[in-house]
Amino acid sequence: MVIITGQCHCGNIDYQLRWPTPAHALRGRACGCGYCQRQGAVWTSDPNAHLDVIIKQAAQVSHYHFGHSTATFHLCAICGIVPFASSESGHHLAAVTNINTFTSLEPRAVQHEPSDFEGETSQARLARRRRNWTPLRISAAQ
Ligand SMILES: [Zn+2]
């Protein structure tokens, strides 16, 4: 178990990613969709990890959806960075984390693999996320 910390650029969205395997086993997926390409976001997830997100000013977090609208991109409205995206299916809230927002681990040291999920149905997409994405908890900063 390793704890990886990260945040948006200004620190409004802060997180701890508890990762079950050694950090060097972590893989970044450069999603090929138009949004992730424009963002330069590279995602990682593991169903046995846990993502704890702490938000200072919730009013300064924008939520962006597109396509099937099954994923929510959490965008800091102050600095414009997207540290994570979430997906909800039933009562299961799960996330992918943008490795480029890691602060305790050098993003360039993470191995990348390409991924492309275009053409997948909404149902297949939700089932895949349920298998692969990281359980998520979002809370307000004290
Ligand atoms: Zn920010």
Residue range(s) defining the domain that contains residue 43:
2-140
How many domains does the structure of the chain reveal? 1
Measured in angstroms, how far is the CA atom of residue 139 from the centroid of ligand 1? 16
pLDDT tens-place values along the chain, 142 residues long? 899 999 999 999 999 999 998 777 789 998 888 898 898 999 999 999 999 999 999 999 999 998 878 899 999 999 999 999 999 887 889 999 999 999 999 988 888 887 777 788 888 888 888 888 999 999 999 8
Q: What angle do CA 64, 68, 71 make, to 5 degrees?
A: 45
Q: Are strands 134-140 and 92-98 parallel, antiparallel or unpaired?
A: antiparallel
Q: What CATH number corresponds to the domain at position 102? A: 2.170.150.70
Element (DSSP H or E) covering residue 131: helix 122-132
Residues less than 5 Å from ion ligand 1, measured at CB: 8, 10, 12, 76, 78-79
CA dihedral (69, 72, 75, 76) positive or negative: positive
